[in-house]
Amino acid sequence: MTFHDRLKQGSPLLATFVKTPHPMVIEVLGGTALDALILDCEHSPFGWADIDRAVLAARAVGKPILARLPDDQPTGLLKLLDMGADGVVVPHVSTARQARDIVRAAHYGDGGRGFATTTRAGGYGRLGMKEHLDASAAPTILVQIEDPAAVDNIDDIVAVPGISGVFIGPADLAIAYGVNDLSAPRVIDAMTGVIASARKAALPVACFAGSSGAVKALYDRG
């Protein structure tokens, strides 16, 4: 079962951000009970060679791996998926149009993702065209909700076909709302609205948790 399939099942999953650009970190975390690893390429010094080695290490230890890219540019999505990553986390997605562009860039056809089987994802040429298309049909795409505009547009964002789930960024939301407390009422209200909209659209919700207590609280909220 792929990570995307497990995500769709709706059962609780636990992942961690990886901040250190060294494949040994991936190798060590591969022996844990974590459900997935997420390379933090937005706030850590990952270059493309580092990402490639990390994805290779994750595949070697059989651990699903995603990457949070620094932006939503199609070239980044293409490189990451060609490397064989299980999916992508895209920061600061604020509109449905932006979400649609991300989905389009991550899928073949309709002028979106460029096609090649000479990549790790394509088995370095061993996969036939149809086999590669089938294997790449459902990448995990998590859009990060981190801005007031995203909260305002959440119903339209979660309605975009191809989105796998939403990832709430409470710290960025707090800063955007002018507070320095993740438990501020405005932040909690925004998160509650995002969770409700995602659940209505049958999409899973992810969120950063800084402690085991926070993990339980988030699970309890859905």
Nearest alpha-carbon partner for 100 in 143, 139, 150? 143
Strand order in the sheet with 36-40: 15-18, 36-40, 65-68, 87-90, 140-145, 165-168, 205-207
Q: Which residues contact 96 (CB under 8 A, 6 or more apart)?
A: 153, 156, 157, 159, 160
The H or E element containing residue 105 is helix 96-106
Known active-site residue 132 = no
What amino acid is encoded at 20 in this protein?
A: T
3-state secondary structure 1-59: CCHHHHHHHCCCCCEEEECCCCHHHHHHHCCCCCCEEEEECCCCCCCHHHHHHHHHHHH
What amino acid is encoded at 45 in this protein?
A: P
Total residue count of the chain as it appears in this document: 222
Catalytic residue among 22, 43, 92, 132: 43
Read off the tokens for 184.
Answer: 């501020």
Q: Which residues are catalytic, by number?
A: 43
